[in-house]
Structure 1
């Protein structure tokens, strides 16, 4: 890499990191999810604004194609930010599946998640799928992504909203995060199926598609089962082994090695890398005993802080950079999908909440929170777009839907607390508890 190329890359990183953090903090002060500001920074730097005003400067700074050094490095950082987002999200799902919430969790998961997925699955067949389809040309994969996008909810964004509002200690937060954890595990499995179908469509003959998909899904399922059941115990034993110098002398390095190990094995097995990173975070935390939290809790928090300040903002800024409103935008698609999927989610979760015994304001709080697509919605869009499953207009639609629904959730819950209304009637009015007064961020919890 020449000095000029290195200088251009350095300037690109400066603009991405500074812009994403500045606009992210501005969004927080306006009581919006931080991700909104980070994506906006990328939009301003991308083809929708700077690219129009100064196309030559934009190409010089951010690269001109696949072989351009800046494009290659920024592409790597984009994927690294995505993986770190999923890792810290996985590490942040501890202690959320409370016993008191098992019945409502089952109902909300069974109806609030399943109904939107099934309705979208049927409705997608009635749409002109060519407008939604990417380079892979797989109609089945597009339909699956469409259904996942209608049903997905966000562990990172609602955790961050709960933290900022000081309500992580409530039963409401525990219930919603428990549902989100189980739901995302199921829906990521369907995304693995969609990517398998798309890759098989491109690489195989018709006769080999079924076999390729079956193998891919089987390997993904086995990876998930082992990561959820066996690996936490294995990691606990490895971290306590006397020969493990990394775990004893450099716990941060050990956590990073585990993260990279999960992703490397997933890559070798053709498992969806983003989900592997999530499982790595889950496995590290799941393998910790309470007596080990002082040893591994700090390294996880350190990784989360650095990721939240540098790599994850770069990822979201690059997501915004890739949104080209001059070409890859369909207002009709955005409005149709946003309103349609939101209506289905609100009705489905409302029905599930009512069957579970909730009434009135409780139902509205649960439904609006569950509708926040946040980080997983954007990750879904990124993975599906990179795999050639969806088109640029549908990619833009999914990202905007994730941002708008997350904004709606944060604004509504803030209104509820300001009015002194209960999140759940069984809890009564909530007294916010802020871990660090005035803090704008929390480790392992991203918007």
Structure 2
């Protein structure tokens, strides 16, 4: 019943292997060039997708990725599973507490960088014809919500990876930005879940449907962030909890799948359930166990599922034919300027210096993973077409590159990212595994 032919399976495994290899190798090369890894992983999909391989060698592309009628469904499954693993990892990075002296900065930026860019993005849809970017569902309200989110969204995984690469993950600047990004994106993903619920309703757009979607999404948010952690705190370590005793990691993956499934049944996108599953796990566990879950999930996620997700995003892009370069440049400038101006002047209003204000604004512009998630979800449920899908993906990649480049420049110039990091000591993680080190071979002890 759940079988497939040996030939089809062999072809699918070969296609997955080729994409995984391209995503990981180009991701590694991107990191060596001081570029966010996600850019290289998407480039792996561009290399093997219709943009390059499909454009110059269409028969090879069709044989590899469209070789049998269910192959696209299998890649769709891998993409969706990679997405929920990415969002689960993002939730596990959630920081719900600011240091007392940082609370004013955090709250000010969260409010300003969420509300104002969202409103500006919504109003911007009256300056051009958004109908040109409508997807198969033909829902203008949902499209406007997606456009508004794309102006405001910030990336937790990418900005955290940039900080890790720069060796500043332990700094005050990093703590503030990661904390802001966590709360900030929860709010914006509520808006995306509402747009998803409107589309899933298939009833046309009316006030009742919008209120229902808002009510269900907010209720699910409260359930996942209040009730689920409360329950987990009380049942996880019980001796009668044989699921936890059977498999530490399997237990939390079950929670991930359960909340994703509940979200799907409520017409809230499953990726939102996976994000909240990560947050609920983080809130429920002591720091030591939460770190253990994060480390365990990260290993398999960032080696397999997440590179494949970004690679499949690249496979879906066709920059050779479905990409409006002129509009993209204008959209990139608009989104960057709006978020930069809002965050910069918010920080100046609370008496931060000019450089610190601009550094925080640059970091908040990295749209990275959540920007790509926004594009993928909106495209997969028919809110946007392939042209706007490409624009949103390239927006996420371009802004992440710019943010990382600016922060790297500030550190190399010896300037402060923020007051409080005067004695900054760069603490870079080990960049690669040394498999052969002749000088490090242990000498046997004498008996």
Q: What TM-score results when the alignment is normalised by the length of structure 2? A: 0.92
Residue 425 of structure 1 deviates from its aligned partner by 3.0
Q: Which runs of 5+ in 2 are unaligned?
A: 434-447
**Residue 225 of structure 1: aligned partner:** 222
Query: Are 1:302 and 2:302 an aligned pair?
Result: no
Q: Which has the higher contact order (CA 8 A, sep 6+)?
A: 1
Distance 1:3 1:128 in 2: 49
Residue 122 of structure 1 deviates from its aligned partner by 0.9
**Residue 354 of structure 1: aligned partner:** 348
CA contact (8 A) 2:143 2:384 kept: yes
Q: Could you say what secondary structure the match of 1:242 adopts? A: coil
Distance 1:439 1:356 in 2: 41
**Residue 29 of structure 1: aligned partner:** 32
**Residue 61 of structure 1: aligned partner:** 64
Residue 128 of structure 1 deviates from its aligned partner by 0.9
Match runs of 1:42-61 below 5 Å: 42-61=45-64
**Residue 203 of structure 2: aligned partner:** 204
Distance 2:342 2:42 in 1: 29
**Residue 131 of structure 2: aligned partner:** 130
**Residue 444 of structure 1: aligned partner:** none
Distance 2:10 2:354 in 1: 58
CA contact (8 A) 2:200 2:267 kept: no
CA contact (8 A) 2:95 2:178 kept: no
CA contact (8 A) 2:260 2:270 kept: yes
Distance 1:24 1:365 in 2: 25
Residue 353 of structure 1 deviates from its aligned partner by 0.8
**Residue 427 of structure 1: aligned partner:** 421
Query: Are 1:273 and 2:270 an aligned pair?
Result: yes
Q: What TM-score results when the alignment is normalised by the length of structure 1? A: 0.92
Query: Are 1:438 and 2:431 an aligned pair?
Result: yes
Residue 40 of structure 1 deviates from its aligned partner by 0.3
Residues paired across the two proteins, number: 430
Q: Could you say what secondary structure the match of 2:147 adopts? A: helix
**Residue 373 of structure 2: aligned partner:** 379
CA contact (8 A) 1:120 1:150 kept: yes
CA RMSD of aligned residues (A): 1.7
Query: Are 1:168 and 2:162 an aligned pair?
Result: no
Q: Could you say what secondary structure the match of 1:230 adopts? A: helix
**Which moved further from structure 2: 111-120 or 37-46?**
111-120
Q: Could you say what secondary structure the match of 2:236 adopts? A: helix
Q: Which runs of 5+ in 1 are unaligned?
A: 441-447
Distance 1:224 1:233 in 2: 14
Within the candidate set 229, 232, 237, 1:235 is matched to 232
Residue 71 of structure 1 deviates from its aligned partner by 1.2
User: Which structure has the larger Rg over C-alpha atoms?
Assistant: 2
Distance 2:60 2:97 in 1: 47
CA contact (8 A) 1:423 1:429 kept: no
**Residue 443 of structure 1: aligned partner:** none
CA contact (8 A) 2:172 2:420 kept: no
**Residue 288 of structure 1: aligned partner:** 285
CA contact (8 A) 2:263 2:273 kept: yes
CA contact (8 A) 1:77 1:315 kept: yes
CA distances 1:209-230 after superposition (whole Å, capped 9, x unpaired): 4333322221111010111122
